[in-house]
Amino acid sequence: MEKLSSPRRTKEIVNKYGFRFSKSLGQNFLIDENIILKIIEGSEIKKDDFIIEVGPGIGTLTQYLAEAAKKVLAIEIDKKLIPVLDETLGSYSNVEIINSDVLDLDLKKMVLDKFCGEKVKVVANLPYYVTTPIIMKFLEEEVPVKDIVVMVQKEVADRIKAKPNTKDYGSLSVAVQYYCKPEIVTKVPKSVFIPNPNVESTVIRLKVLDNPQVEVIDRKVFHRVVRASFAKRRKTLLNSLSFSNLGLNKDQIKEILACCNIDPKRRGESLDIEEFAVLSNYISKIV
C-alpha cells in the first residue's frame, strides 16, 4: 500500500474527505519520507516498544510507528480526522486512536490501563501552539516515559537545550533539563509539510533521566524560583527575586543569596541547574 508520506497520497486523502487544515490546531502534515525515517531512527524504536503519538493528523507518522513498535496509542483532538484515521490506519491492528485533547487526559492512568504501566516513548510532530504544555504535562505528571522525540519549532528546541549564559537559556531550559537530557535529532525545512508552516522546525530527543538531574526539596518552589529569576532578564537576581511572588523582601533575599554563596549582582541566566537547586532548597525551608 502506498504510504501517506507521498505528497500525492496525502493530497488524495485530504481531497477525498474535503478536509480543511486548521491553523489554530497547528495542522501541518508531513509529506517527506526522509524526515519520517529520521524521526523513527532518532527514536531508536524496538519491536517491544509502546508509543504514544500526540496528533496523528491523517496517520502519516503513525504508519511508520506501527510498523516499528509493539503498540501505538494515537491521541487526536480533531474529530474530523477520526474517519480518515479509521481508513488510513485500519489495517494496523496495533494502533488505537483516542479522540481527545491530550491536555485533558490522565496520561499516567492511561499508560497503566493501556500498557500495564510499562515505560512508553512519546513520538510526535507536535502542534506548535501547545508544544510546551504537552511536553511539560508528560514530565510533570510523572507519566512513565523513557523518551520523548518530537518535532518542535526550531526556537523552542534551541531554548530547551540551551546552556547558562546564552541568549536562549531560560526557565524552559531548566524545567526540561531537570527531567531530561536533550539532544537534536535533525533540523527540518518548511518544505516537508503541507501546508508549509511560517517557522523552521527541529526534531529533538529528550532522554528522560531515571532521577531528576538535581535533588530539590519542593519541586513547586524550585520552578517558582527559576521562573522568578528569569522574569526580568536584565535585572540582578537580588531585584528579580525581591520583586517576585515568593513573598520575600530584599534583605531576606540578600541573606539567602549570601548563604548560598551566590553573588546578588548576578543575573538569573548565569545560574546553572545545581545553583538553582541550592537556592530553591534554601528558600523551601523558609517559605
List the binding residues for S-adenosyl-L-methionine: 28, 30, 55, 76, 101, 125
Q: Is 53 helix (H, G, I), strand (E, B) or coil?
A: strand
Interface residue with ligand SAM among 87, 96, 101, 183 (CB under 6 A) is 101
Question: Is residue 170 close enough to count as binding ligand SAM by CB under 6 A?
Answer: no
Site for ligand SAM in 201-240 (CB under 6 A): none
Task: Considering only the stretches 86-94, 99-107, 182-190, 271-279, report the one whose residues sit in contact with ligand SAM under the rule CB under 6 A.
Answer: 99-107
- Least distance (Å) between residue 108 CB and ligand SAM: 17
User: Where is 238: in which H helix or E strand?
Assistant: helix 237-242
User: What is the residue-wise DSSP string for 142-180?
Assistant: T--EEEEEEEEEHHHHHHHH--TTSTT-SHHHHHHHHHE
Write out 84-122 in H/E/C secondary structure.
HHHHHCCCCCCEEEEECCHHHCCHHHHHHHHHCCCCEEE
Question: Is residue 127 close enough to count as binding ligand SAM by CB under 6 A?
Answer: yes
Nearest alpha carbon to residue 181 among 173, 189, 192, 170: 173
Question: Is residue 63 close enough to count as binding ligand SAM by CB under 6 A?
Answer: no
Interface residue with ligand SAM among 66, 77, 89, 279 (CB under 6 A) is 77
For residues 32 and 93, give the distance between their C-alpha atoms in angstroms, rounded to a whole number. Answer: 24
Annotated binding site: 28, 30, 55, 76, 101, 125
Interface residue with ligand SAM among 40, 66, 75, 221 (CB under 6 A) is 75
Which residue is at the shortest CB distance from ligand SAM? 55
Taking the least distance from each CB to ligand SAM, the nearer of 64 and 178 is 64
Taking the least distance from each CB to ligand SAM, the nearer of 106 and 274 is 106
Task: Considering only the stretches 69-77, 113-121, 217-225, 270-278, report the one whose residues sit in contact with ligand SAM under the rule CB under 6 A.
Answer: 69-77
Q: Angle between the 273-284 and 219-231 helix axes, to the nearest 10 degrees?
A: 120
Question: Is residue 61 close enough to count as binding ligand SAM by CB under 6 A?
Answer: yes
Within 10 Å of residue 109's Cβ, how many Cβ atoms?
12
User: What is the residue-wise DSSP string for 112-148?
Assistant: HHHHTT--EEEEEE--GGGHHHHHHHHHHTT--EEEE
For residues 58 and 80, give the distance between their C-alpha atoms in angstroms, rounded to a whole number. Answer: 10
Residue 203's region, left for phi above 0, alpha for psi from -120 to 50, else beta, is beta
Question: Is residue 87 close enough to count as binding ligand SAM by CB under 6 A?
Answer: no
Question: Is residue 42 close enough to count as binding ligand SAM by CB under 6 A?
Answer: no
Question: Is residue 57 close enough to count as binding ligand SAM by CB under 6 A?
Answer: yes
Taking the least distance from each CB to ligand SAM, the nearer of 39 and 214 is 39
Interface residue with ligand SAM among 35, 42, 55, 89 (CB under 6 A) is 55
Half-sphere exposure of 214 (CA within 13 A, CB side): 21
Residues binding ligand SAM: number (CB under 6 A): 22
State the residues that interact with ligand SAM by CB under 6 A: 25-30, 54-57, 60-61, 75-78, 101-103, 125, 127, 130
